Amino acid sequence: MSFGDAVDLVIGASVLVVAIVALTVRRRDTAVVLFLVFGVLLATLWARLAAPDIALAEAALGAGVTGALLMDTITSSRPREAASSRPWPKRILGWAGGAVAGGAVLVALVAAVRSLSEPQGSLAQSVDEDMGRTGVEHGITAVLLNFRSYDTLLEVAVLAVAALATVSFIQRQSPAPPEPWPGGPPLAVRGLARILTPILLVVAVWLLVAGTTRPGGAFQSGAVIAAVLILLHLGGWTHAVPQGRWRGWGLMVGLIAFIGVGGAGAVVGAGWLVLDPDWAGTIILALEAVLAVAIGIGLATIFVANRTDVRPGGDDT
């Protein structure tokens, strides 16, 4: 076993151990922090499995934005201890039943994994053959924005619907959203927002353009844009994330632009969402920019909506 294999084994084992511990601890905040560790370890596993794009996205979205969402939910409610409302015989029964059923499913799935035949790789071959017509040089970008751009359109729609659903669940006692910090943001946060915003915007644009030739692309760029918007909102510039009248428009702009490009292809070009090989590179870059902004605004809206939730006592910290 080479050193690389040993490192992979250690990373895989630690992913499993951290996941199991995260599921079995009693306190919520411990579970959330362990989930963050799980996300970072998963990102290193992606890097070892030759998926650097996924590693970037997991670190930014899985550990970053999801971590921010979970942390915000924990800090705005009392740290609930293990006070479970169900009587303990039922709990033991629940865990035992889950273990038995889960164990059976696990054995069946592992058997299925062991019996997989050799990979044909026909899809990878087709992607390789047609890469010249796509206008980009990176496989994942070609698949996401050209071969399967319909799936990406639906993903933008799902994100917009999720943001609208989150917003509609939140109650407020007054029309104006309450301030993120009761006494104004501390100097450290304001300073951080001022320093990081230009740097992160440059990084976002770089990730966007780099996605055509190497790991990067709209999703990672969108995650960085979401981070910038959340940071600006926390730093006191509450108009960074669209609220009020502009919120609906902010969420819809990505979806409308995407549909517009697809429709333009249907009217002028070869068909709905078909990209002409001459224009494909430019159109893909434009689509990615719109996509990144849409993902950024969508995720930031979800975070801000969760954060401006008013507790029943009318007190929001």
Q: How far is the CB of 94 from another protein (least distance, A)?
A: 5
Minimum CB distance to another protein, residue 310 (Å): 9
Q: Identify the residue whose tokens are 């992160």.
A: 200
Place of tokens 């809206």: 301
Phi/psi at 311 (5° precision): -70, 160
Q: Which is nearer to another protein, 238 or 306 (CB)?
A: 306
CB of 257: closest distance to another protein in angstroms? 17
Q: CA-CA distance, 241 to 21, in Å (whole number)?
A: 36
Evaluate whether 293 touches 240 at the Cβ level (below 8 Å).
no
> Residue 178 or 222: which CB sits closer to another protein?
222
Beta carbon nearer to another protein, 110 or 266 = 110
* Secondary structure letter of residue 130 according to DSSP: G
Angle at 296 between CA 131 and CA 47, to 5 degrees: 55
Q: Which is nearer to another protein, 189 or 209 (CB)?
A: 189
* Phi/psi of residue 7, nearest 5 degrees: -60, -45
Q: Are 235 and 187 in contact (CB under 8 A)?
A: no
Please identify, using beta-carbon distances, which residue of 175 and 313 lies nearer to another protein. Answer: 313
Q: How far apart are CA 229 and CA 243, in angstroms?
A: 12
CB of 95 to another protein, least distance (A): 6
Do residues 309 and 317 touch, judged by C-beta distance below 8 A?
Answer: no
* Closest CB to another protein among residues 125, 282: 125
Closest CA to 266 of 142, 135, 150: 150
Report in angstroms how near the CB of residue 180 gets to another protein at its nearest.
13
CB of 170 to another protein, least distance (A): 6
**What is the distance between the alpha carbons of residues 301 and 316, in angstroms, rounded to a whole number?**
18
Burial class (CB in 10 A: 0-12, 13-18, 19+), 55: buried
Question: 164: which residues sit within 8 A by CB, 6+ positions away?
Answer: 248, 251
Q: What is the nearest approach in angstroms of another protein to the Cβ of residue 238?
A: 19
Q: Is there a contact between 18 and 37 (Cβ–Cβ < 8 Å)?
A: yes
Nearest to another protein of 143, 261 (CB atom) = 143
In the complex, least distance from residue 59 CB atom to another protein, rounded to whole angstroms: 10
* Minimum CB distance to another protein smaller for 96 or for 264: 96
- The answer to whether 58 and 295 have CB atoms below 8 angstroms apart is no
